[in-house]
């Protein structure tokens, strides 16, 4: 690696010197940790690598995804590979898309004290407190949109004095929105029915029975939608 | 922020942007593509492959790294565990909790089976979670299942098993509806019409998406549903060997707790392998877009149990892996960037390939351009530009932020605004085209052993199209769940559970003169720096 600059980071309070261009995750590995927990997609999608850090001498606590965050000099790092979130079970076919369901499954959202710690902590930069407010009101669409980029790392919940499992609340809102509140795709329903009725059977059999040369010709000369 | 050394090239790209935005690059002819692939695609580099010496695919080729795992020793032998006292006794054991495994679990549960899932990391720590671009289905008026068939079969170089492709495309619309009904949030317009785009190699706009978190949205919906159904999942627990009964039918597995290393025996009437891909094998030294647990374990387990592989020598190198900065080297830059109109240009800002050729052709064209010296040099080698700002020029300002927010965020965090600057890219190891051979019921050559998703081969021939893999895991995941959910009712496990096939495999290794210290499946890749470590019994005795 061309970059020869090193920084001092403190993993769980112990100092290691690691190349400055690493992430917290690859820094841990460089230091000698073989990760099992706290490492999933390695690219910011799965939320496995929730991490807390503080720069020495600084009062502020930072929350981050270890795979997405560069190491810094004097960074004190603790990983948060698991956080006990509450996931309530429900039958998606039975729920009704009203505020009632939130009150029933996640009543603690109504104890939100508005401290905004969740929003400040979100490594995805989401307005977490706002989407919880939408959920309180039963505005599932807005809650779904606002929370869409959530990776369910649990960091917000670790900071919440009201014990809210934000990402689970948002998951419920998104499923309700996707299933009940977004209009159905009529062309999709139509196509499912046509297939069920066997409308494409003959054409498909015809394609399947083509010789290699014929199908190649068809493929190479097929018209491509602009 | 890009280093100073890139600025000259960046200026050239910017100067040509308007012209490039309007350009309609030519597509290659079939002959041009063939010639390009033979010379530049990694699958054609003979020195990177070797012959498999034993087992059902003896005599065929596979990458060195895979052969090493296929021909390694088992991690467990008869006598290491008491196979007569299984800790679990279930109807359906599902190995791997990504998209395919979770879909299978839901269907097997629906069929009334007693299901157990086991997975290496957590449910959803999987390639499915990472899919950005979308999922194909022929549900628009100008499209049809047979048109989808033509694209998939042709895109896969006419090598796929036709009957599997037929299933893939015919069940696609129904499965999109299924996901929709589970609450998955597809991109739709105000009337509910699906917003669909092209992907590389599609002849109709049939790519459905959930912004550029398509896989994440599908995966978290499936995970929530699995949890709602209270299907038991053993997390941080990997399968290290399949078990058979005295008739040689698959009848369970030996699992290892990834943290405590404790072994667990599961007796199961049917087993579904859904372990996904192999990016973390880093074939030919390529970086990868895959999740941490993608180490071809399923191929090893199935192969030792006597299942046949298909097209194990073909891998997919995604043309646009991030080549800069270091922290995201190899990470995927979704094809959707090109679907939305971005062009690929060289260091002088010249277009050298149509942006939506099939992935293998596109990747080979980029490798060729770099070999010609027309790429931008990086710490790891070379890259070419994916000129993303063209998207906003063509579709209106704000399109990037709205349609590919994950991409925008990934680069914004590193000080690169992709609505203003291009992205430096180079091919990255992305997908295992081949895998365990299955029939239309998802059954392998081993009775009662089913497989679905990226671990299988045959659905995509020797090259998979974008959007057909998410589709594959839903279609065949569900089908495997249904098949096992029907089969278990007639299964009788005969006699004792055993690892005889492992002993036989070890004998074959010896007879073939294979000498190795390696064990497999690999489970995790080591990224730890080489250090001098304490040898022997460890700290606590
Ligand atoms: C970055 C990225 C982007 C992609 N984008 C798209 C796209 O836009 N469209 C598309 O169609 N496809 C896309 N793909 C491909 C697609 O996402 C995958 O091929 C597909 O999701 C694989 O699903 P799966 O269920 O077979 O495997 P996975 O989702 O990978 O799940 C496999 C699971 O098995 C577990 N496992 C592995 N070994 C063991 C073991 N020994 N014991 C127990 N568990 C084990 C793994 O940890 C994992 O949880 C993309 C892939 C990647 C990596
Ligand atoms: S490892 Fe998946 S988000 Fe960091």
Please name each of the domains of chain B with its CATH number.
4-40+316-430 (3.90.700.10), 74-314+433-490 (3.50.50.60)
Instruction: Please name the residues between 186 and 205 in chain A that touch chain B, using a CB distance below 8 Å.
Output: 186-189, 191-192, 195-196, 200, 203-204
Query: Mean pLDDT across the stretch B501-527?
Result: 96
DSSP one-letter code for A169 = H
The ipTM is 0.97
Query: For the residues B387-406, what does the mean pLDDT come to?
Result: 94
Q: Where are the domains of chain A?
A: 6-79, 99-181, 186-220
Tell me, what's the pLDDT at A1?
A: 41
What is the predicted pLDDT for the residue at B413? 86
Q: How far is CA B530 from CA A29, A31, B534, in A?
A: 10, 10, 13
pLDDT in tens, B439-448: 999 999 999 9
pLDDT at B198 over 80: yes
- Please, which contacts does B437-444 make with residues 24 or more away whose CB atoms are closer than 8 Å? B437/B307, B437/B308, B437/B309, B437/B310, B438/B164, B438/B476, B440/B163, B440/B164, B440/B167, B440/B479, B441/B479, B441/B483, B442/B272, B442/B476, B442/B479, B442/B480, B442/B483, B443/B483, B444/B273, B444/B302, B444/B307, B444/B308
pTM over 0.90: yes
Asked whether the beta carbons of B165 and B177 are under 8 A apart, the reply is: no
Q: Return d(Cα B249, Cα B444) in angstroms, integer.
A: 11
* Mean pLDDT of all residues belonging to chain A: 96
pLDDT of residue B530: 76
pLDDT at residue B74 in the model: 97
Residues from chain B that touch A206, judged by Cβ atoms under 8 A, are 146
Angle at B184 between CA B463 and CA B90, to 5 degrees: 80
Does the pLDDT of residue B301 top 70, yes or no? yes
On the question of pLDDT at B200 being above 90, the answer is: no
Task: Determine the Cα angle at A37 with ends B528 and A4, to 5°.
Answer: 30
CATH of domain A6-79: 3.10.20.740
Q: What is the pLDDT of residue B540?
A: 81
Question: Which residue's C-alpha comes closest to atom 3 of ligand 2?
Answer: A44
Mean pLDDT across chain B, nearest whole number? Answer: 96
| Cβ-defined contact of A216 to B124 (cutoff 8 Å) | no
Distance to chain B for A192, nearest Cα, Å? 6
**B-contacting residues of A 21-60, CB under 8 Å?**
21-23, 26, 29-30, 32-37, 39-46, 48
Atom of ligand 2 nearest to the CA of B292: 1
The DSSP code for B440 is: T
* Pairing state between β B309-310 and B435-437: antiparallel
B127 alpha carbon, closest ligand: 1
What are the pLDDT tens digits along chain A (226 aa)? 445 699 999 999 999 999 999 999 999 999 999 999 999 999 999 999 999 999 999 999 999 999 999 999 999 999 999 999 999 999 999 999 999 999 999 999 999 999 999 999 999 999 999 999 999 999 999 999 999 999 999 999 999 999 999 999 999 999 999 999 999 999 999 999 999 999 999 999 999 999 999 999 999 999 999 8
CA angle A73, A77, A79 (to 5 degrees): 150
Question: In this model, does residue B486 exceed pLDDT 50?
Answer: yes
C-alpha to C-alpha distance for B449 and B256, rounded to whole angstroms: 20
The predicted structure's pLDDT at residue B423: 98
């Amino acid at each position: 690696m061309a970059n020869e600059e090193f920084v001092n980071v403190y993993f769980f309070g112990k100092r290691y010197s690691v190349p400055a261009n690493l992430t917290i995750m690859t820094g841990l590995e460089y230091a000698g940790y073989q990760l099992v927990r706290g490492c999933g997609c390695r690219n910011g999608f799965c939320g496995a690598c929730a991490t807390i850090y503080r720069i020495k001498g600084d009062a502020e606590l930072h929350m981050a995804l270890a795979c997405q965050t560069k190491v810094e000099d004097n960074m004190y790092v603790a990983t948060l590979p698991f956080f006990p979130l509450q996931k309530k079970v429900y039958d998606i076919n039975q729920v009704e898309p009203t505020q009632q369901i939130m009150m029933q499954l996640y009543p603690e959202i109504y104890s939100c004290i508005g401290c905004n710690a969740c929003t400040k902590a979100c490594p995805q930069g989401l307005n977490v407190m706002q989407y919880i407010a939408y959920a309180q009101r039963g505005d599932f669409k807005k809650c779904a949109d606002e929370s869409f980029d959530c990776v369910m790392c649990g960091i917000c919940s670790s900071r919440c004095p009201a014990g809210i499992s934000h990402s689970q609340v948002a998951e419920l809102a998104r499923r309700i929105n996707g299933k009940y509140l977004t209009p159905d795709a009529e062309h999709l329903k139509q196509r499912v029915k046509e297939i069920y009725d066997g409308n494409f059977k003959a054409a498909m059999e015809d394609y399947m029975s083509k010789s290699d040369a014929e199908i190649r010709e068809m493929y190479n000369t097929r018209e491509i939608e602009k | 922020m890009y280093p100073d050394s890139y600025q000259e090239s960046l200026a050239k790209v910017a100067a040509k942007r308007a012209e490039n935005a309007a350009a309609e690059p030519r597509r290659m002819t079939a002959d041009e593509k063939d010639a390009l692939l033979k010379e530049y695609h990694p699958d054609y580099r003979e020195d990177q492959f070797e012959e498999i010496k034993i087992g059902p695919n003896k005599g065929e080729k596979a990458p060195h790294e895979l052969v090493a795992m296929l021909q390694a020793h088992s991690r467990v032998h008869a006598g290491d565990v008491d196979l007569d006292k299984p800790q679990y006794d279930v109807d359906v054991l599902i190995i791997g909790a990504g998209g395919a495994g979770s879909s299978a679990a839901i269907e097997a549960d629906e069929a009334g089976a007693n299901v157990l899932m086991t997975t290496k990391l957590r449910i959803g720590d999987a390639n499915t979670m990472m899919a950005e671009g979308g999922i194909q289905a022929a549900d628009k008026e100008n499209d049809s299942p047979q048109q989808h068939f033509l694209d998939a079969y042709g895109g896969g170089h006419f090598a796929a098993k036709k009957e599997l492709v037929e299933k893939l495309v015919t069940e696609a619309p129904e499965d999109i509806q299924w996901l929709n009904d589970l609450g998955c949030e597809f991109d739709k317009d105000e009337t509910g019409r699906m917003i669909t785009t092209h992907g590389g190699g599609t002849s109709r706009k049939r790519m459905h998406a959930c912004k550029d978190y398509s896989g994440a949205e599908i995966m978290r919906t499936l995970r929530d549903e699995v949890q709602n159904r209270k299907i038991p999942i053993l997390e941080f627990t990997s399968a290290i060997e399949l078990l058979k009964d005295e008739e040689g039918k698959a009848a369970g597995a030996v699992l290892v707790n990834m943290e405590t290393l404790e072994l667990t025996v599961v007796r199961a009437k049917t087993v579904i392998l859904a372990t996904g891909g192999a990016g973390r094998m880093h074939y030919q030294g390529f970086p990868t877009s895959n999740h941490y647990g993608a180490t071809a374990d399923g191929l090893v387990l199935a192969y030792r149990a006597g299942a046949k592989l298909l097209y194990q020598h073909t891998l997919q190198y995604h043309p646009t892996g991030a080549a800069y900065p270091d922290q995201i080297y190899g990470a995927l830059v979704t094809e959707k960037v090109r679907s939305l109109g971005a062009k690929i240009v060289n260091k002088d800002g010249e277009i050298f390939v149509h942006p939506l050729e099939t992935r293998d052709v596109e990747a080979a064209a980029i490798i060729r351009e770099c070999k010609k010296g027309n790429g931008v040099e990086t710490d790891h080698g070379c890259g070419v530009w994916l000129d993303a700002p063209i998207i906003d020029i063509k579709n209106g300002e704000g399109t990037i932020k709205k349609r590919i927010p994950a991409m925008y965020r990934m680069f914004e965090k590193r000080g690169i605004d992709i609505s203003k600057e291009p992205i430096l890219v180079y091919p990255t190891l992305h997908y295992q085209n081949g895998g365990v051979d299955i029939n239309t019921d998802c059954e392998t050559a081993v009775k009662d052993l089913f497989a679905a998703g990226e671990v299988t081969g045959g659905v995509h021939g020797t090259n998979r199209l974008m959007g057909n893999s998410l589709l594959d895991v839903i279609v065949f995941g569900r089908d495997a769940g249904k098949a096992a959910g029907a089969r278990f009712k007639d299964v009788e496990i005969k006699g004792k559970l055993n690892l005889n096939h492992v002993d036989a495999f070890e004998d074959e290794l010896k007879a073939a003169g294979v000498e190795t210290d390696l064990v497999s499946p690999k489970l995790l890749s080591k990224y730890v720096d080489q250090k001098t470590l304490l040898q022997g019994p460890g700290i606590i005795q």
